[in-house]
Amino acid sequence: MGCRVLEQLPDRRLQGSWVQTEQVAHEAWMILTAKSPVGAQIMHALTARLGDHNAVVISQVSLAKIIGRSERAVRTAISILKADNWIEVRQLGNAATVNAYVINDRVAWTVKRDGIRYSLFSAAVVVSEEEQPDRESLGRQAALRRIPDLLQSEAQMPAGQGLPPISQPALPMMEPDLPATRRTYDLETGELLD
């Protein structure tokens, strides 16, 4: 296999959109549907957005719009889901209106030197255009700076003058690595593998 130059990075392949659950979970979900129809709707809405993650970050306003219910109904149903151990809720910021809803796994907590416990987890994040302070300019923002992608066999080779003021160049072969993402591509097809 040889190395080939890609004109454009390939699009990431879409994975199947299915969720696997156990039969006992379906039977419990049936009971939940009778106890709290809105809670069952919320579980479907959150589970449908899990992707590769165990958590979804979404505001209660957006969740209410997605399921077509009031914010109060969402709050009540979330209380039931928490009490019955369907979800774990982690608040983001001071307002309890935006939360991370953990579906399957417990969040792992670590303790820093300052004594405050922190948690790091991945989540699908759902935001609504209506909740954005800059919603009038959405779609017209300046492009973000691009972080270069490196193929497995590639190395960084900084070139050019750099940003002003021009500084003393680094010693040959001693250039610092720049921030970059490392992705694995099939060299024959150019397909993203990870």
The tens digit of pLDDT for each residue in 34-72 reads 999 999 999 989 888 876 667 889 989 999 999 999 999
State how far the alpha carbon of 112 is from the alpha carbons of 89, 117, 118, 186, in Å: 22, 6, 7, 40
CATH number of 23-132: 1.10.10.10
> Strand 55-59 and strand 124-126: pairing?
parallel
Instruction: List strand residue ranges (DSSP E) for 121-172, in order.
Output: 124-126, 149-150
**Half-sphere exposure (Cβ direction) of 78: Cα atoms closer than 13 Å:** 26
How confident is the model over 126-137, as a mean pLDDT?
Answer: 82
Q: Report yes or no on whether pTM surpasses 0.75.
A: no
State how far the alpha carbon of 181 is from the alpha carbons of 12, 30, 129, 152, in Å: 15, 44, 28, 11
Cα–Cα distance, 150 to 147 (Å, whole number): 10
Cα–Cα distance, 164 to 31 (Å, whole number): 66
